[in-house]
A and B are shown apart, each in its own frame.
Chain A
Amino acid sequence: MMDGDVQIKLQSFVDGELPEGEARAMANLMAQDREAAALVAELKYTRQALSGHEKGVRLPESREFFWSKIQREIERTAPVAPVPRPVSWLVRVRRILTPVAAVAAVAIAGFIATRPASAGSGVETSLSDPGAFTYRDFASGTTLVWLSYPAEDTLADGE
């Protein structure tokens, strides 16, 4: 009886899975050993018998019926697109008015920022002291400042 490892190597030889050196050794063994040659022949018979075996197999359902099942499954598992909900008139009006209002706000801000300063006179409040008011008369070159709260001296006197 042939050694198990040799049997497996002979199979690998038939399948073309042996490196060149080992394949040569197996070829030599086949030439000298009838049992080895017989095993290789048997392995080749089985390969030959199996070749083309699946070609005779037919799917036992008609083209239309088989496809109908596949199509149904494809449609069932397809991602569902979200259905658009009806939009109320109020939302639609808001959608139109929001950008219009934004554009108007920007235009007004731009107009104020770029407006030329009055050449005559005007009243200003200082950002650093909201209680202080300044009156400027550009024509006469006069500037008048007044405060909306009592002077510090007065407060000091009162204490």
Chain B
Amino acid sequence: MTGHEHSSADDEALVRAAQQGNLGAFEELVARHRDKIYARAFSMMRNEEEALDLSQEAWVKAWQRLAQFQRESSFGTWMTRIVINLCLDQLRKQKRYRTESLEAIDEESGGVERQMPVLTVNPTERLERAELRQRIEIALDQLSYEHRTVLVLHEFEEMEYKEIARVMECSIGTVMSRLFYARRKLAVILSDLKKDEAT
């Protein structure tokens, strides 16, 4: 049976069938959640090829560990956690080979973001959705992986500070500082403050 033949079943029924070895049911689950899983990998990695590889790897891992899925959360949430863990592992590996820049060290110490002036108008108010998307993408690209990851886990995955601290293996204070920096930088890019300042 192919995945298309399972299109009317709900996630729970598909998971049950897949746990009994039904690959067609699993294909339908992949089809339903693949965009969300890829989007999360892309938000964290900022690289299309890596995001594709890691989301594919997440699906293979999910199939191998399907027996461990106890339905404590939704299947989508369980899958998202798998891809997040794979991305974190990959980012940690990459960090080992990357030299910390002076800017990154300054960001880490949490000093820069506190000096930036607070924006008094809603920077997103006059932006079209497409432009807003583009600026968010630019901002995410410009953030270091530590700041971006904290932002993604908090804003997209809706994790609490302590949970982020646990998965990122750092203190809650560091999480708060990184999140603050990431948001302030994002606000600046959204409002295009730098361009205004230059003119």
A binds B: yes
Q: With A and B bound together, what is the CA distance between A48 and B3 in angstroms?
A: 36
- Given contacts A46-B190, A54-B36, whether A74 and B31 have CB atoms under 8 Å apart is no
* A119 located at the interface, meaning its Cβ lies under 8 Å from any Cβ of chain B in the complex: no
Complex interface bits, B10-50 against A, C-beta within 8 A gives 1, otherwise 0: 00000000000001000100110011101110110000100
- Return chain A residues, CB-CB under 8 Å to B133: 53, 56
- A43 B59 Cβ-Cβ under 8 A: no
- A15 B122 Cβ-Cβ under 8 A: no
Within 29-85 of A, Cβ neighbours of B (below 8 Å) are at: 35, 38-39, 41-43, 45-51, 53-61, 63, 66-67, 69-71, 73-74, 77
B7: min CB distance to chain A, Å: 11
* A12 located at the interface, meaning its Cβ lies under 8 Å from any Cβ of chain B in the complex: yes
B19: min CB distance to chain A, Å: 14
Interface range on chain A (Cβ under 8 Å from partner): 35 or more
Within 8-27 of A, Cβ neighbours of B (below 8 Å) are at: 8, 11-12, 15, 17
- Return chain A residues, CB-CB under 8 Å to B30: 66-67, 70
- B190 A49 Cβ-Cβ under 8 A: yes
- Smallest Cβ-Cβ distance to B53: which chain A residue: A69
- A42 B161 Cβ-Cβ under 8 A: no
- B63 A74 Cβ-Cβ under 8 A: yes
Interface residues of chain B: helix, strand, loop or mixed (majority): helix
Within 168-192 of B, Cβ neighbours of A (below 8 Å) are at: 176-177, 179-180, 183-184, 186-187, 190
Q: With A and B bound together, what is the CA distance between A61 and B37 in angstroms?
A: 13
* A4 located at the interface, meaning its Cβ lies under 8 Å from any Cβ of chain B in the complex: yes
- A42 B119 Cβ-Cβ under 8 A: yes
- Return chain A residues, CB-CB under 8 Å to B119: 38, 42, 45
Q: Which of B55, B118, B186 contacts A38 (CB 8 A)?
A: B118
- B177 A8 Cβ-Cβ under 8 A: yes
Q: With A and B bound together, what is the CA distance between A153 and B48 in angstroms?
A: 108
- A49 B118 Cβ-Cβ under 8 A: no
- B52 A59 Cβ-Cβ under 8 A: yes
Q: Which of A12, A46, A57 contacts B186 (CB 8 A)?
A: A46
* B136 located at the interface, meaning its Cβ lies under 8 Å from any Cβ of chain A in the complex: yes
Q: Which of B3, B55, B187 contacts A45 (CB 8 A)?
A: B187
- A67 B60 Cβ-Cβ under 8 A: no
Interface residues of chain A: helix, strand, loop or mixed (majority): helix
- B118 A54 Cβ-Cβ under 8 A: no
Q: With A and B bound together, what is the CA distance between A53 and B137 in angstroms?
A: 9
- Return chain A residues, CB-CB under 8 Å to B48: 60
* B115 located at the interface, meaning its Cβ lies under 8 Å from any Cβ of chain A in the complex: yes
- B155 A57 Cβ-Cβ under 8 A: no
* B97 located at the interface, meaning its Cβ lies under 8 Å from any Cβ of chain A in the complex: no
Which of A12, A41, A43, A57 has the most chain B CB within a 10 Å cutoff?
A57
- Return chain A residues, CB-CB under 8 Å to B76: none
- A38 B120 Cβ-Cβ under 8 A: yes
- B176 A8 Cβ-Cβ under 8 A: yes
**What 7 A-B pairs are tightest by C-beta distance, nearest first?**
A57-B39, A54-B39, A59-B38, A38-B118, A50-B155, A49-B124, A73-B60
Name A's B-contacting residues (CB within 8 A): 1-2, 4, 7-8, 11-12, 15, 17, 35, 38-39, 41-43, 45-51, 53-61, 63, 66-67, 69-71, 73-74, 77
A-B contact pairs, 9 of them (CB 8 A): A7-B180, A42-B118, A45-B187, A46-B186, A46-B190, A50-B156, A50-B186, A53-B156, A54-B156
